[in-house]
Structure 1
Amino acid sequence: MNEENKLNQENLDFEKMNATLANPEFANWYYSQMVNGVNNNISIEDFVQIVQKYNLNKMD
């Protein structure tokens, strides 16, 4: 794995990530993204970034 693709694990908020993954609203949003043609072949790093972006958008 190259340095660009590594997640900065020190900055991950695992409690917030777990809460997001348990949120039915997130599950529905994510499912609709997958159904609507977003690339289904994503890495775990990509998935974590999707969750983080979702949380950032929810705070706006």
Structure 2
Amino acid sequence: MSSSIAPAVQMQAAGFAQSVGVAVARQQIDAGKAVADLVAQTAASASPPAPAGQGQRLDIRV
């Protein structure tokens, strides 16, 4: 009887391991998105807009 239970337990353990792996992967993706959003917000708010007329000419003297 124990020989018929072992495959079922192994299948259940494999399913659980896969579920944990998927959950960890989702957490990593969410964390990466959160960091990217934070970097984007910081970059957008860190530099004030350029004054009017700035950047209109390019000085390429060497």
TM-score, length-scaled by structure 2: 0.29
Q: Which has the larger radius of gyration?
A: 2
When the two structures are superposed, what TM-score results if normalisation uses the length of structure 1? 0.30
